Amino acid sequence: MDRVSVDLENCYGIKKLQHEFDFSAHRVYSLYAPNGVMKSSLAQVFHDVVEGIPSSDRIFSARVTKRNITDEAGAELRKEGVFVVRPYDAEFGHTEKTSTLLVDAKLRKEYEQLNTGIDSAKESLLSALKDQSHSKKDLETEISLAFTPSDTEFYAALIRIKKELAEQKDTPFADVLYDTIFDDRVLSALETKDVKTAIEGYVKRYNELLAASTYFKRGTFDYYNASQIAKSLAENGFFDAKHTVNLNSTTKIEIKTRKELEDVIVKEKDAIIKDKELQRKFDEIAKLFEKNVTLRDFQSYMLEHEAFLSQLANVKKFKEDIWKSYLKVRQDLYLELMKRYEAADTRKKEILEEAAKQQTQWEEVIHSFNERFFVPFELRAENRIAVMLGDAPIINLGFTYRDGKDQVSIDKASLLRVLRTGEKKGTLCVEYIVRGRNQEKDQSRNANCY
């Protein structure tokens, strides 16, 4: 639009105002006047347009209000074409609508499409992992913390273990109930001196028994791994194809069926589990948890899964191994996400570089503000690129306070505490009217401030 006509009566103290703003001649109109000449009232009228509500006279409510704001064709001004910036005691710029001032539509659309493909694959993987783990926790956070020091490094965590997952052959902890073990109360209990001492004693005896075992070997082939291997071989038709397994000890044993392998595993397992000293140490640990009613679910779980107890000497590693088992089971979804993420990564970097070079309308507005208003600070847009590309919904404004040659970054709350009343009012740009061109066809939209 090239012109905006304003025809007002009895609007917040404005008795009558008729004026046509010609944007074909001037891009920007500024109203700068003493207090009491209805600048704020005019701003409120345009704010009503944005909100889609009627204007009125708050004092003389019986007076008939008239509000006609039209373009050169006589059509009512659309609320999408109006942006009202409130005074600094209001939230300046903090709406998602304002972010559209930053959009290069073609660039943002490509970026969003890249993200859409990644987000879809990510959602599928997290949904499958939730089913696998039976967890109610935020799995994105849990995975991040399992493999990185931060709770926001989900993709870095997945990339870190890519090679390890490719080399992993089995899924020994795929059926672990995650929340039962990694409950905050359980983790706190595992850090107490009595529990740690009891677990250390159990693990020491357990390792002694593994070292003396005929077939099991610590760290590579304990009875839990062996059970998983027997299950996997059977499910993949190993024995049905007449293959056999040879177990090496003092004598060589050839295993021809799943039952034969499971019988050997059970016998060897019983030799460890039924060891009187190991059982005594297990009972000590169970009693420590039994004393606390909130930990009895964990205690019951350990009674049914005694093999897990030896893993609790290193909780961090146990958590990593559990997540690797979950992810190995859902490897197809994991690999699909990694493929999309890595394919998009290079192009996203290129887009970010292009976005960083582009001048945005917010920067033009901020530049005009810094040039026109005599206040002891400057504005800056801190997350311009993130808003341009849709990674952040709203602009974060930063402030640099200047005093002679000295300058310092300052937050908004601190700034408002030191500004004088006149300086606060000097920050008021009544409103921008963005020229109503089709943003898909023409991205050279202009902001006009009354």
Longest dimension (CA), the chain: 107
> pLDDT-based confidence at 420, cuts 50/70/90?
low
Same domain, 181 and 287: yes
- The owner of tokens 């887009």 is 351
Q: Give 330-389 pLDDT, tens digit per residue.
A: 999 999 999 999 888 878 778 777 766 665 556 666 777 777 766 777 777 776 666 655
Q: At what angle do helices 276-290 and 193-212 cross, to 10 degrees?
A: 160
For residues 184 and 293, state if they share a domain. Answer: yes
- Name the band, by pLDDT with cuts 50, 70 and 90, for residue 436: very low
Task: Map residue 73 onto helix, strand or coil.
Answer: coil
Place of tokens 């009566």: 9
Q: Based on the domain organization, do 208 and 122 belong to the same domain?
A: no
Average pLDDT for 394-421 = 72
Give the helix/strand (H/E) hosting 198.
helix 193-212
Instruction: Name the strand (E) or helix (H) holding 193.
Output: helix 193-212
* 320 pLDDT higher than 70: yes
Tokens 């490897």 locate to 331
- Is 321 or 310 the better-scoring residue by pLDDT? 321
Residue-wise pLDDT tens digits, 269-314: 777 777 788 888 878 887 887 767 668 788 888 878 877 888 888 9
Residue 130 and residue 168 in one domain: yes
Decide if 243 is inside a domain: yes
DSSP for 277-293, written as a single string: HHHHHHHHHHHHHHTSG
> Is 309 inside any structural domain?
no
Range of the domain at 151: 107-175+315-357
Buried b (16+ CB within 10 A) or exposed e, 251-284: eeeebeebebbbebbeebbeebbebeebeebbeb
Q: The pTM is what? A: 0.52
What mean pLDDT is reported for the chain?
78
Q: Do 327 and 219 have their domain in common?
A: no
Q: For 254, phi and psi rounded to 5 degrees?
A: -100, 125
Chain centroid to Cα 115, Å, comes to: 13
Q: Please indicate, yes or no, whether residues 187 and 236 belong to a single structural domain of this protein.
A: yes
Residue 157 in contact with residue 147, Cβ under 8 Å?
yes
**Residue 363, domain member (yes or no):** no
SS3 per residue for 413-439: HHHHHHCCHHHHHCCCCCEEECCCCCC
Residues 191, 243 within the same domain = yes
Is 405 in the same domain as 442? Answer: no
181-224 pLDDT, tens digit each = 999 988 988 888 888 888 888 888 877 877 777 766 665 566 56
CA 349/CA 347 separation, integer angstroms = 5
Does residue 366 fall inside a structural domain?
Answer: no
Same domain, 18 and 81: yes
Q: What separation, in Å, do the N-terminal and C-terminal C-alpha atoms of the chain show?
A: 16
Q: What's the rounded mean pLDDT across residues 75-97?
A: 64
Total tally of structural domains belonging to the chain: 4
* 184 and 294, same domain (yes or no): yes
* Residue 3 within a domain: yes
Give the closest residue to 326 by CA, choosing from 334, 335, 317: 334
Beta strands in 129-242 (DSSP E): none
Same domain, 421 and 450: no
Q: Is residue 369 part of a domain?
A: no
CB 189 within 8 A of CB 292: yes
Q: For residues 24 and 34, what is the distance between their CA atoms, to the nearest angstrom?
A: 28
- Are residues 17 and 1 part of one domain? yes
